[in-house]
Structure 1
Amino acid sequence: MMKNKKIATIALALLLTTAMVAFMPSAVAQKRITPYIYIGAIPNPVHVGDEVLFHVGITLPCAWPQTGWKGLTITLERPDGKTETLGPINTDTTGGTGYLYRPTLVGTYYAQVNFPEQVVEVTTQGVPAGTIINAGVSDKLALIVQEEPLEYWPGIPLPTEYWTRPINSQFREWASISGNWLVGKGYYMDMNCPGNDDAPEAPHVLWAKPLVKGGISALGGGLAGGTIPYDFEYGDAYEGLFGQPVVIGGVLYFNRYKADGGTAVEQEVVAVDLHTGEEIWVRDWNRTRLAFGQVFYWDSYNYHGVFGYLWTTVGTTWHAYEASTGRWAFSIANVPSGTNLYGPKGEILRYNINVAAGWMTKWNSTHVLTQTRVLRYGPLDQAHGSWIREYMGTTLNGTLGIEWNVTIPKGLTEGVPPAAGPATIYLEDRIIGTNFSRAVFAPDVLQVWAISTAPETKGQLIFNVTWPRPRPDTRMHISAASVEDGVFVIVAVETAEKWGFDINTGRLLWGPTEREDYKQAWSYTTGYSWDFIYNGKYFSQGLGGQVFTFDVKTGKLLWKYDFVDNYHEWTFGNNWFVYSAFIADGKLYIYPAEHSPNNPQARGAYMACINIETGEEVWKLNYWGTVWGGKPVIGDSIIAALNEYDMRVYAIGKGPTTTTVSVPETAQPLGTPVLIKGTVMDISPGTQDSSIKLRFPQGVPAVADESMSDWMACVYMQFPRPTDVKGVWVTFDVISPSGEWKHIGGTHTDSSGMYSIPWTPPSEGLWTIVITFPGSESYWPSYAETSVLVTAAPPPPPTPETPQIPTPPDYTPYFIALTIAIIIIALLVVYILISIRKVRKA
């Protein structure tokens, strides 16, 4: 990384230097001149053990085709007294260049450039050809090497919130999440999609748009209705809707109309912002159709840049259009037949092999231009420093793209033509051929051979082996191959048994595997589904409705996934047909489809995301794919897929949210509970469509990942609103009047997106309330703040005085005296009565 940064910096400086020198007055021609020799160091000081870039040369540039000054050296005096000589070093045409060195000692180094005597070959800056430049040395440069580390560019972390294009070019780390999609997947292609390290882990829909404005969409797609209880056409019996989708730089490109009619009918290519679903442009390219894309890095001494192209093909003529504008750039005629491969810088390669005649060729799209210039300017002209420039708006001769033509060993055999096979496989550094294919019963003895296409060994035989056919009366087929994993796999079509072979020797490694569902044979004979190898695993899947994943080195079954039809709608079995879309970020994305499906369509099918390490289903979403149209694609970690259930293009990815919070606006006395409430809502671009707004006038609530599948079906497909929707978690924090941050807790939103939290502030002052939705696999995070003023509690009301009540007189003594008197009287009465009774008796 540091090396590239330093070289880029010095290159810019050299270009500026050249521009300045170009305006200097011409020197008087002379037989000998004295050079002005320079040396610089970047950085200086430098941390011990880090690279330093010496900038060396002379101030006089060369004129093309003299490519630079030769044989410079650097004398380096080290802090330990020893001397090193670095070089020899050749400059470029600017007169200078860079040389990397890594000092290992702390202290001061002294560096001096030695320029040897040499001749000016081409007149430059008024110095005539034949002039001798004297030998000389530069001043000594002191290079300080220190123990203290230097500060370097810190890097930019991956985004933690919703992001869009363009991506600032300084954010190089973001390359891991901003991949492109150039051509549909197929046999022997890398099913992994680098640059999508944030591939969807939940089925959240960003937007859903009609495939055709004013066409199928005007009729609604899906169910026709009324007295015709069937669906509008799917375009899946060769017609091919959503054809050849491409993603470059966060833009989705596709053919708007079906393939039928070709150039005899209207054709349009559409560019759509993958993040928002907004149409960017629509182009009619002379009624031709988008075939594939290209992201090509031109890297020369004069110009460095990435070019994005969209290609159409008409016979053997290719037309390149700028991905940014859709404008025609140039064409290539007489392109040879073959399978497209992409080179290390995005150049398009094609190999052709003739086993009978014993030759093999390599065609390179970039070579077409370079050889065109060679014929016009010669091999050393400065025009070679630029890309297409003077050939914009022209048609180049594709026959000039043959980079090499080599002989190969004779005696190799080849099966039926690839259209019925394939019997020949084109990989990144070799071609594998066979004498059998899926089209016909295999011979008794199978032959497999491999020829190298690597630069240093091109045309050499890697292996040529034979193998007795393991099963009688069956077709045999190479189902998958991977140079990186070192294995290719042969399958017996009728039984779906597999055998693994070493891709470097042809030696049998393992097999057979167990037989699979009989419908797997249909997969291998039709070619609509294919096996593949990735990261030490061999994935076998297809019309049998299962995914089998094996250890590619041993053939051991690691896991199996059943693509179950839960509602018994499918007429071919209990599992849906399996089509693999791609692998991204350690996940396999599969979907159901069928050549010329029934109408009305089988119900309840779904796209599924599977963890490739465990076979566990991560998520699923109601979906039916296409066989003849465009398959699901991914770019910028966003999936785009045509759903035949309603004929709309769906974008699946992490969406933006908005969080709100409110509290009473008036001051609250200390000790009074405060009701905090708000919402967390999904504000993805699709939620802004009028059809969604009318159904969700208060907005679309954000929901938990585990509820996402049913919720998205409700929001975008009008399924009934689920009754068990779970909300999202929000956290509750406060900032005290003194500035102290305090975490209080959290809660879940409900199915409407609302939350409410009662809270009693513990002290007076202005409290800031922060509600945060931390995000999920479906959504980017969001937060909201508000504040509440807490005032002193009001004083308690005064206690009313107790009225003075007069003390009543104490009559107790009177009551006692009265009681005694009554008792005495009673006793006297009793005594008198007794005395009277006695008198009478007497």
Structure 2
Amino acid sequence: QECQIAGILGGDQGVKPAEANLFGGAGMGPGAYANGKPDIIFQGRAYEIVFKPMPQMVDGQIKTLTETVWQCYDMRTGEVFWEQTAGIATRGFGPFPTVFYAPTEIEYAGIANPGGGGDPQQSAEVFLIMVYGGRLIKWRPMTGEMAANVSIAPVSSGTYYRNGYCLSVQTLENGEHRLLNWTTFGSADGLASRVVSNITFPWSSIPDTTDYNVGIASQQTTVSEGGAYVGLTIRAASLTTGQLLWEKTFTDVTQYSTNTNNADHGKIAVLTEQGTIKAWNLADGSEAWTSDPMEYPWDEPGFGAYYVGSAYGKLIRPAYSGIYAYNWNDGSLAWKYESPAEFPYETPYIDEDGNTMYSWNIGGTIADGKLYIYNTEHSATVPITRGWKMHCIDIATGEQVWSVMIAGGASKHLSDVGPVADGYLTMAGSDGFMYVFGKGQSETTVTAPDVAVPVGTTMTIKGTVLDMSPAQPGTPCVSVDSVAAQMENIHHQMPLEGIHGDREIQGVEVLLTAIGADGSCIDLGTTVTNGYYGTFTFAWTPETEGTYDIVASFAGDASYGSSAASTGVVVGPATAAGGTIEPEHPIISTEVAIVIAVVAVAAIGAVAFLALRKRK
């Protein structure tokens, strides 16, 4: 769906290079965020802040003005269920988003009531919630109705670290910090009745580098001398006792950015300017491991995205020439994923062997054992580099699952890869459109002769298998290996045969079955559709008379859901053997034959008479 005016379809955002703050890190919009993709997905419904032209009364006149609305729409089709005006909670600037009064989290409020026989009767209430601006606000997901709007004073916000629970830091007048663990369940006004624990804490906020599984938070501070980075101080504190566990300063390492550090698996991992990742144990500060340096020339100084991800036992680092995955247990390199450029010298970025590579400089989304991430560069210039793609990478192996030449717009701070849920992935594209990737809806048709076919005679069965997804309805379903080329052609006008002219579009397999009136089934076989048109043709020679249902079935695959269709055909008696067939009665009588002969003679005479007149 269209997010904003963005120039030619398949091109870049409609902005001058000097004004391309979008590519400087602001993403599709200022941020519960208007960023060209949903903030929450729940039961197939996406919730998103959008800017929408709407008629408004101004000085007695109706004018069309841009209104900020909170929309709920079908994740698969884009159909809008409802929308309402969204107010501004705080206004941001640059890459820092404006926050709107709209939910950012989901709360599952479960209730167990004892029933007969000791079996509990489970019921649950679900709310979309926002913790911000000194308020806890709840909305009902199906209608958008506000269910609660209560104060959480004296704190203004909180970290929603698990379902129904937040952590907030309160700073007292004497400068003491208190770590409050409180629940979002219920509708009580005020924070006092919600607090589960209240302990002294060493810091004024909860760091992003907090491992909630082991209950330890970590701070990292760069040590500077004369404007130069010369060391690193790391601290760790317990979330359960509030005790400062340890603090150590290291003079042999400097960090790349606090945004590229990650706490997980009981460790704090720091990306260094020396091109390594160093990890310390959160419990006592002892060094756990140091990775090998990343590759020269672009990755060795740590250059790349302001992001390090963690999932499935891997630490994920998008550096400039490729994406590195390290094992959390020992820091060994599990794999490196690269995106070779379509042509030599297409970009200035190369790997260790001098091969031209597409760059990386943004975070991704990890779900279902896969990393979803797109190519970009730091503060990308306009027009953006051709050939950049969205990639789906297997976290376990580092192998590509798929890629398509549709990239996001943001290039520095905020990734344009959105939530993944219910089998669908969202992304705000660099062309001003939001894309939803996932299984498309298919439609199968089948036809057979409308007249009876003699037994033993070959008949033609025809049909189609078409993609009915709202993004490209009525287009051919194509094989898994051809989907990327199909999508690039439809949405970015790339040649179907690919940039190198070496791709051929293949269709999908269709199973044909004949079902007799007695319920008997005949497996007619399979055929493959034409990848360019979505059509198929199949020849069948029936061996038995009768009425049949011809069923065409497309089983579906990783790209499309299944579909089927049927038609009927009658198989009649065989045609009689060849030979002279004498009619039972004369076709015409003798009298009629005489009349026809006389008319013929008269006609010949008239023609001859006219010919003689012309000679005279």
Fold shared by both chains (TM-score > 0.5): yes
Residue 490 of structure 2 aligns to which amino acid in structure 1? V
Provide closer, same or farther for how the CA distance between residues 276 and 517 of structure 1 changes in structure 2, counting only shifts above 3 A: farther
Residue 363 of structure 2 aligns to which amino acid in structure 1? S
Counterpart among 289, 308, 328 of residue 146 in structure 2: 328
Counterpart among 65, 74, 80 of residue 273 in structure 1: 74
Aligned to 1:676: 461
Q: Distance in 2 between matches of 1:220 and 1:767?
A: 48
Counterpart among 221, 246, 252 of residue 464 in structure 1: 246
Q: Does the 8 Å CA contact 1:231/1:601 hold for their aligned counterparts?
A: no
Aligned to 1:309: 128
Counterpart among 548, 561, 572 of residue 791 in structure 1: 572
Provide closer, same or farther for how the CA distance between residues 601 and 327 of structure 1 changes in structure 2, counting only shifts above 3 A: same
Aligned to 2:199: 406
Q: Distance in 2 between matches of 1:223 and 1:749?
A: 35
Provide closer, same or farther for how the CA distance between residues 405 and 763 of structure 1 changes in structure 2, counting only shifts above 3 A: same
Aligned to 2:421: 635
1:743-778, CA deviations, whole angstroms, 9 ceiling, x for partnerless residues? 232111012111111111122222332221111100
Counterpart among 353, 358, 369 of residue 575 in structure 1: 358
Q: Does the 8 Å CA contact 1:235/1:629 hold for their aligned counterparts?
A: no
Aligned to 1:293: 104
Q: Distance in 2 between matches of 1:438 and 1:319?
A: 40
1:29-88, CA deviations, whole angstroms, 9 ceiling, x for partnerless residues? xxxxxxxxxxxxxxxxxxxxxxxxxxxxxxxxxxxxxxxxxxxxxxxxxxxxxxxxxxxx
Provide closer, same or farther for how the CA distance between residues 304 and 282 of structure 1 changes in structure 2, counting only shifts above 3 A: same
1:427 aligns with 2:204: no
Q: Does the 8 Å CA contact 2:70/2:102 hold for their aligned counterparts?
A: no
Q: Distance in 1 between matches of 2:223 and 2:533?
A: 55
Q: Distance in 2 between matches of 1:800 and 1:651?
A: 67
Residue 147 of structure 2 aligns to which amino acid in structure 1? A
Q: Distance in 2 between matches of 1:598 and 1:236?
A: 7
Aligned to 1:656: 441
1:545 aligns with 2:321: yes
Task: Give the length in aligned residue pairs.
Answer: 525
Q: Does the 8 Å CA contact 1:668/1:791 hold for their aligned counterparts?
A: yes
How far 1:237 sits from its partner (Å)? 4.1
1:780 aligns with 2:598: no
1:256 aligns with 2:50: yes
1:244-286, CA deviations, whole angstroms, 9 ceiling, x for partnerless residues? 322223222222149xxxxx98422222211111122232123
Alignment of 1:184-583 (within 5 A): 209-212=1-4, 216=5, 222=11, 235-237=22-24, 239-242=26-29, 243=31, 244=33, 245-257=39-51, 266-288=67-89, 289-290=100-101, 292-300=103-111, 304-311=123-130, 313=132, 315-317=133-135, 319-333=137-151, 334=153, 336=155, 340-343=159-162, 345-351=163-169, 360-366=178-184, 387-388=186-187, 396-398=189-191, 401-407=194-200, 425=210, 427-434=212-219, 436-437=221-222, 446-453=233-240, 458-459=241-242, 463-464=245-246, 466=248, 468-471=250-253, 479-481=260-262, 483=264, 485-492=265-272, 494-516=273-295, 519=298, 529-542=306-319, 544-567=320-343, 568-570=345-347, 574-583=357-366
Helix, strand or coil at the partner of 2:471: helix
Structure 1, unmatched stretches of 5+, are: 1-208, 259-263, 368-386, 689-698, 802-842
Q: Does the 8 Å CA contact 1:362/1:402 hold for their aligned counterparts?
A: yes
Provide closer, same or farther for how the CA distance between residues 630 and 364 of structure 1 changes in structure 2, counting only shifts above 3 A: farther
Aligned to 2:118: none
Choose between structure 1 and 2: higher strand proportion.
2
Residue 637 of structure 1 aligns to which amino acid in structure 2? G
Aligned to 2:400: 617
Provide closer, same or farther for how the CA distance between residues 578 and 744 of structure 1 changes in structure 2, counting only shifts above 3 A: farther
Q: Distance in 1 between matches of 2:166 and 2:422?
A: 22
Structure 2, unmatched stretches of 5+, are: 34-38, 53-64, 90-99, 114-121, 351-356, 498-502, 583-616
Of all paired residues, the percent bearing the same amino acid is: 25
How far 1:309 sits from its partner (Å)? 1.7
Helix, strand or coil at the partner of 2:179: strand
Q: Distance in 1 between matches of 2:460 and 2:209?
A: 71
Aligned to 2:527: 747
Provide closer, same or farther for how the CA distance between residues 747 and 616 of structure 1 changes in structure 2, counting only shifts above 3 A: same
Helix, strand or coil at the partner of 2:363: strand
How far 1:615 sits from its partner (Å)? 1.1
How far 1:532 sits from its partner (Å)? 2.5
Choose between structure 1 and 2: higher helix proportion.
1
Aligned to 1:770: 551
Q: Distance in 2 between matches of 1:432 and 1:468?
A: 19
Residue 278 of structure 1 aligns to which amino acid in structure 2? E
1:761 aligns with 2:580: no
Aligned to 1:191: none
How far 1:233 sits from its partner (Å)? 6.0
Q: Distance in 1 between matches of 2:347 and 2:472?
A: 33
- TM (norm. structure 2) is 0.74
Q: Distance in 2 between matches of 1:234 and 1:441?
A: 29
Provide closer, same or farther for how the CA distance between residues 317 and 353 of structure 1 changes in structure 2, counting only shifts above 3 A: closer
Residue 724 of structure 1 aligns to which amino acid in structure 2? E
Provide closer, same or farther for how the CA distance between residues 265 and 236 of structure 1 changes in structure 2, counting only shifts above 3 A: farther
How far 1:663 sits from its partner (Å)? 1.1
CA RMSD, aligned part only? 3.8
**Which is higher, the Rg of structure 1 or of structure 2?**
1
